[in-house]
Amino acid sequence: MIIKNKKNNVGTDKKLASQIEKILKKLTLEEKISMIHAAGLFRTGAVERLDIPSLKCSDGPMGVRCEFHNERWIPIGNHDDLVTYLPSNSALASSWNEELAYQSGKVLGEEARGRGKDVILAPGINIKRDPLCGRNFEYMSEDPKLTATLAVPFIKGVQENDVAACVKHFACNVQETDRLMVDTIVDERTLYEIYLPAFRAAVQEGGSYSLMGAYNKINGTHCCENKRLLDSILRKEWGYDGTVISDWGAIHKTKEAAAVTIDVEMSVFPDFDDYKFANPLKEAIEKGEVPISVVDGKVRNILRMMFRLKMIGKYKNMRKTGTYNAPAHREIVLKTAEESMILLKNDNNKLPLDKKKVKKIAVIGRNAVKIHSDGGGSAEIKALYEISPLMGIKTYLGGNVDIIYAPGYYVPEDPKTFEHNWQEKSLDELEGTDIGMAVRKEETPDDIEATKKEEMKLKEEQEKERELVHEKNRKLLAEAAAAAKEADEVIFVGGLNHNFDSEGIDRQNMELPYEQDLLIEELLRVRKDMIITFIGGSPVEMPWRGKAETILWSYYAGMETGNALAKIIFGEVNPSGKLAETFPAKYEDCATARNGQSGIPGKITLSEGLYYGYRYFDRERIAPAFCFGHGLSYTNFVYSNLVMKQEKEGNKIVKISFNVKNTGKRAGAEVAQVYIAPISPKVGRPVKELKAYQKINLQPGKTGKITLTLIAKDFAYFDVDLHDFIADAGDYEILVGSSCQDIRLKGLCTLS
Ligand code: BGC
């Protein structure tokens, strides 16, 4: 992989520091204050007198968001802010391809710069702890290693364009319900082993110029006021000298936030002068309650980033210009979409279909025509275009094939209104209050009675609505079944949409919405060989999966989704995506269903510790529907010849190599995964954990050799007493496989 680790030509740290000090000396208190808080919904204040521009931010991560009015959450409505719609982070992660992560970051960075932005609020790298978390589609994986290894090249790709990545949301932002106030209770070891490693890699290896402090609390303190998280861990332990930006409205208390090393306050309201880091902080400084040194520290971090981005200083004229909607960007998007789709099941080698043999196809399901780019919350994109699956299939097959489309199930219209943007609304209840101090109102008996009545009324209305929808669905089902009977092939395209995968809400269960299970069961009765495809951002239950021959899963895969899907269905592309998260058979099987399900306000205790996702399914020996790392191909791969070499010195470095052979008739790519399983650990440890992987492309009949290096840290756990990672002496099994359950090679290595 070519990741240029270019040195940023802003001079040595010493020179840079002295340049920063020079500017700092010239700045007045008012000017410093203007730099550390918003002067627009997506920008900070500028200091024109000294040629310091405002910092322009934009969401992320699936593309550069449309332009909003400076003070209102209403899109300007330009026609010049349409952009490339990139695959979501969950799609990207399913490619298990670091080079594509780098290329995707490069596209995003170039588009952000092309749109004149300085900071792109991406990537989202929170760990997918519970399948119900509404923002999981924006995140990469349940696994810290996979997340870290993809985040690093992504960030480098972004920043090559003189745009800052802003990794978010630091940290433990595991649910959307009550997202501003929820307190995540997490123990030290879990924090260090699961929730921090990707952020650490993002700042230390990826060199992310900025990072976003999350809304939630950790162990009682809001992330943006959390001394331990920001000062001790991020700055001291990790040595971070970048800019920390608050999530929009995540700062609550002036003095507490001023005292920690968070640098920029952003929020959702237009009363910029009243932000905590605006007049309230200025007054506190003037009264001597807060030392000016805290503001200086923040300004230093901002200036350092501005130099790095060539926003100021003598290299200003060399700043990259970027561009957006370049044809080359769409090629990366297509390639990523192709590599992200996961063939979950393919009994009887039903797929791929032979384009020449089909004359009549029935395409069933609302996701065949649904546009997803404009939803999901702050990740919404004003896409230049989005190829739906139906359009992809139609353009792929051309005019000689008869394609009938049947919706199959009813999806209520969701008219988008920009009258009152959801983002502003999501924090509305807090307007005029001290955000963090917003106390939940005490309820009187009358209030309780009124709420009960309202709930009853709502229930009745919902019941009526359900009956109506059911009626509609029966009609649509009959039409779909008739279409399915007549066609040579039936392709179902269902799944989720951003009414479920969305910022600000968590899913209530893992069921497919809109009575899709009923429809699928019925259609499978008519057409046992129906090809079932899904678009969605998080796992769903598939109770009928035993009866289905073929299941193909796609996350929100960007503007080329339909083209990629068609190429896979008709075999022009051999699928190579692998699950970056466990697909449980039913939600009740998850560790989080027992305790700490997303969606409960107030407090969420991560009492499962390290044991969620595959770490839990492994320990409890529960079979998921589809395990972490799973994904089929149209060809077969045979693994052989595992060789392990331990470096003499300290016995703490292990080089492993093995062969993978493509024994089938098609070219294809395999993601070989390496897990480490401690044999008799001194402390409780997951049965095995992913520590390395590599994707390899192989022509039919060809063998490739994979060589990977494991270091001491890969064998380590976090020792709370020592406050460090330690790799105990002892035996470790090295497991090499095609998924976390399909282990093909095993070896033993002993650390001394
Ligand atoms: C989201 C962030 C986003 C920010 C700006 C917040 O509500 O949590 O992810 O970057 O808004 O739109």
Mean pLDDT of the chain: 94
Contact 168 CB / ligand 1 (< 6 Å): yes
Residue nearest to atom 6 of ligand 1 (CA): 248
**Are the C-beta atoms of 752 and 729 separated by less than 8 Å?**
yes
Span 7-27, average pLDDT: 82
- Ligand 1 pocket test: pick from 67, 108, 121, 251 the residue with the most ligand atoms within 8 Å of its Cβ: 121
Residue nearest to atom 4 of ligand 1 (CA): 248
Span 270-299, average pLDDT: 98
Q: From the CA of 138, give the closest atom in ligand 1.
A: 9
Please report the pLDDT score of residue 434 as a whole number.
47
Q: Which of 647, 642, 651 is nearest to 747 (CA)?
A: 642
Q: What percentage of the chain exceeds 90 in pLDDT?
A: 88
**Are the C-beta atoms of 570 and 355 separated by less than 8 Å?**
yes
Radius of gyration of the chain (CA): 26
Span 171-196, average pLDDT: 96
Q: From the CA of 166, give the closest atom in ligand 1.
A: 10
Is a pLDDT exceeding 60 seen at residue 112? yes
- Ligand 1 pocket test: pick from 59, 108, 224, 245 the residue with the most ligand atoms within 8 Å of its Cβ: 59
Q: From the CA of 42, give the closest atom in ligand 1.
A: 5
Torsions phi, psi for 540 (to 5 deg): -125, 155
Please report the pLDDT score of residue 448 as a whole number.
82
- β-partners of residue 264 are 245
Contact 121 CB / ligand 1 (< 6 Å): yes
pLDDT tier for residue 4 given thresholds of 50, 70 and 90: very low
Calculate the CA dihedral of residues 189, 144, 250, 420 and round it to 10 degrees: -150
Residue environment code for 371-408, b if the CB has 16+ CB neighbours within 10 A, otherwise e: ebbebbbbbbbbbbebbbbbbbbbebbeeebebbbbbb
Q: What percentage of the chain exceeds 70 in pLDDT?
A: 94
Please report the pLDDT score of residue 529 as a whole number.
97
d(CA 120, CA 58): 5
For the chain, the distance separating the N- and C-terminal CA atoms, rounded to the nearest angstrom, is 33
Span 728-734, average pLDDT: 96
pLDDT tier for residue 31 given thresholds of 50, 70 and 90: very high
Residue nearest to atom 8 of ligand 1 (CA): 247
- Ligand 1 pocket test: pick from 248, 381, 425 the residue with the most ligand atoms within 8 Å of its Cβ: 248
Q: Which of 693, 704, 578 is nearest to 638 (CA)?
A: 704
User: Cβ neighbours of residue 523 under 8 Å, at least 6 residues apart?
Assistant: 364, 408, 480, 481, 484, 490, 492, 530
Q: How many residues does the chain have?
A: 752
Q: From the CA of 179, give the closest atom in ligand 1.
A: 8
Span 433-462, average pLDDT: 72
Quote the ligand 1 centre to 414 CA distance (angstroms). Answer: 22
pLDDT tier for residue 652 given thresholds of 50, 70 and 90: low
d(CA 263, CA 110): 25
Residue carrying structure tokens 């402090």: 213
- Name the residues annotated as catalytic: 247
Residues 407-446 pLDDT 10s: 999 998 876 555 556 676 666 555 544 443 333 456 788 8
Residue nearest to atom 9 of ligand 1 (CA): 378
Contact 378 CB / ligand 1 (< 6 Å): yes
